[in-house]
Structure 1
Amino acid sequence: MYTSLLRRKTAGEALFDAVNTIGMLLVCFVTIYPIWYVLVNAFNEGQDAMRGGIYWWPRVVSLDNFQAVFNNPGIMLAMGVTVAKTVIGTPAHVFFTAMVAYAFSRRELVGRKIYMLLGTITMFFNGGLIPFYLLIRDLHMLDNFLVYIIPAMFNFFDLIIFLAFFREIPAGLEEAARIDGANDFSIFVRVVIPVSMPVIATIALFHGVYQWNDYFTGMIYINNMDLQPIQTYLYRVIALSSSNIMMAAMPGGITKSVTSQSIKLATMVVTTLPIVLVYPFLQKYFVKGMMIGSIKG
């Protein structure tokens, strides 16, 4: 048996492994290098970067690009809006979606199959942007911070993940709580939530990343610059050349070394770095929650 396990690979197996390795390395390079390129050029002096030829390391290291970014009060205000909507919107989404999923997991729920059918349809079809915009307008949520929170409180795909987990919770836990006099809401808060932390962490990661990266909501429903999130701000810097406005507000010593392109790159780094740093620490909960949902579902 040990001889068979330690046998040498055949030529075909060795070739297959080599092709797999080369392919994966190529995919990793194509994925990582654009990020590295932006980072390198963001830390390079703007005027020097205009000469080109910077691919792997900064040629003239400078922090002027980031100073230009942080000297603009708009980006710090936008960062605050993004942090606020992520911190508020993620728990609200997790709690509300989990509560609805718990109701769906109860077999005695009247019309449960109809609700599931209607919810499934919404995963593939929707009313479109214009009707949704009119709805947001009629609800008086245009130029309102709540537009980031209320419409995003429920997602049917996340409900399905919750539902697969809740259905596997032992019925004895809920029965014991009912004997002690707990109602449905008490059972949900005191019994279901504590034993569902892996799937809660998974959905929180899903929605937290969505809230941080969402630029479309601020672009469509928010005209007040004080309520725009950092990703919408980044969109305006890149697509609408707002970096020229940022340069106009810089002290004279800085404007000699930065360019509109270098400010754009530095802004990209500032807006994406926080979620990139946080994601690896949350990924283990994401993997655990998804595996539990797939096994028990």
Structure 2
Amino acid sequence: MKLSAGDKTLRSVIYALLALLGVATLYPFWNSLVLSFNLGSDTSLGGVTVWPRKFTLENYQIVFKEKHIFHAYLITILRTIGGTVLAMLFTSLFAYAMSKKGIVFKKFYTILAVVTMFFNGGLIPYFIVVYHLKLYDTFAFLLLHGMISVYNMIIFRTFFLALPDGLEESARIDGCGSFGVFFRVVLPVSGPVMATLSLFTAVFLWNDWFIPAVFISSQDLIPLQTLLVQIINAGTTASLLTNLNSHAQSLVANTITVKALQMATMMVATLPILMIYPFLQKYFVKGVLVGSLKE
């Protein structure tokens, strides 16, 4: 279709605005990446913008060789994988039960679950409960926190309601019970919604620093994001040196600054979760819109 001069002008303006928005969004991330590859002592002089002026890998050498950072990275990976698997399993089971007809007090359970989306007991009561359950300062708490998401349950339930009744009926004719139907029939066809919600849950667990900062006191159980906040809050080289080994201390004292180490740690903490998005992008539209198709 031939466009008029006005339409072409409008399209050009829209493309220009989108390009500016893209640059404004990506530049802070790119600049942080550049600073992470630049010599810390040179970065402190200023003027490093779109390309490293004095390229170095020393910032990343500290990140990958420093035992505290490496161990925190391992904790983050284990928490993200284990927490996502548990969250998807139990949330989908909850949603599957809520999608079945004939459940006693089904409406009451649904209302009770939805209320928790708007009201909670607060941080202090939650802390007391966690402490008395002997989950404080344990890796189990990192896995169990946020295991049930009512919002994700509603999306799962809506997806399950849209499945043909014949799938479950044929499985029951073949002798499957409720768990057999769920694990052998329902879950295999729930790929789009499972992939989308798994990614959302993984991103939440990967980026979460506040909950571990409150409920985890042992340095051996602190995730990478919480450690990154501690590094950022260090503010000065002197306060940062107390958390590094002797080799890292010598590097920081000579050429590396707190800001350079902050940028390198931030890149290590951010890039892995960003790399997952392209592989699950094809599931986004179907998975996210499933909640608006049928209720």
Category of TM-score, reference length = shorter chain = over 0.9
Q: Does 1:73 align with 2:73?
A: no
Query: What's the counterpart of residue 80 of structure 2?
Result: 86
Distance 1:79 1:117 in 2: 39
1:54 aligned to which of 48, 55, 63: 48
CA distance in 2, matches of 1:201, 1:278: 11
Shift of 1:160: 0.9
Spell out the pairing of 1:1-297 with structure 2 (5 A cutoff): 5-6=1-2, 8-11=3-6, 13-241=7-235, 243-246=240-243, 249=246, 250=248, 252=250, 255-297=253-295
Residue identity in the other structure for 1:270:
V
Quick check: 2:66–2:244 contact (8 Å CA) kept in 1?
no
CA 19–93 in structure 1, closer or farther in 2 if over 3 Å, else same: same
Q: CA deviation at 1:155?
A: 0.2
Listed as ranges, the gaps of 5+ residues in structure 1 are none
CA deviation map 1:2-56 (0-9, x unaligned): xxx32x3242x33432332222122212211110110011100000111101111
User: Do 2:209 and 2:225's aligned partners in 1 also have CA atoms closer than 8 Å?
Assistant: yes
| Cα distance change of structure 1 residues 63 and 121 upon mapping to structure 2, 3 Å threshold | same
What TM-score comes out, normalization by structure 1 length?
A: 0.92
Root mean square deviation, CA, Å: 1.8
How has the CA–CA distance of structure 1 residues 211 and 66 changed in structure 2, closer, same or farther, with 3 Å as cutoff? same
Measure the CA separation in 2 of the matches of 1:254 and 1:114: 59
Aligned amino acid, residue 118 of structure 1: L
Equivalences, count = 291
Check 1:15–1:243 CA distance in 2 against 1; reply closer, same or farther (3 A cut): farther
Alpha-carbon contact 1:92-1:149 (below 8 Å) kept: yes
One-letter amino acid matched to 1:277:
M
Deviation at 1:153, TM superposition (A): 1.3
Task: Report the 3-state secondary structure (helix = DSSP H, G, I; strand = E; otherwise coil) of the residue aligned with 2:242.
Answer: helix
> 1:158 is aligned with what amino acid?
N
Q: TM-score, normalised by structure 2?
A: 0.93
- Equivalent pair of 2:96/2:157 in contact (CA under 8 Å): yes
Deviation at 1:102, TM superposition (A): 0.3
Query: 1:151-207 CA distances to partner (integer Å, 9 max, x unpaired)?
Result: 321000000110110001111111122222322121111111111111111111111
- 3-state DSSP class of the match of 2:145? coil
8 A Cα contact 1:65 1:258, kept in partner: yes
Secondary structure of the residue that 1:174 maps to in structure 2?
helix
Q: Residue type of the partner of 1:179?
A: I
Residue 293 of structure 1: how far off its partner (Å) = 4.2
Ranges in structure 2 where 5+ consecutive residues have no aligned partner? none
Post-superposition Cα deviations, 1:59-108, rounded to whole Å, max 9, x if no partner, equal 01011111122231000000111111111111111010000000000121
Aligned residue identity for 2:185? V
- Offset of 1:284 from its aligned partner? 2.0
Contact 1:164 / 1:296 at 8 angstroms: preserved in 2?
Answer: yes
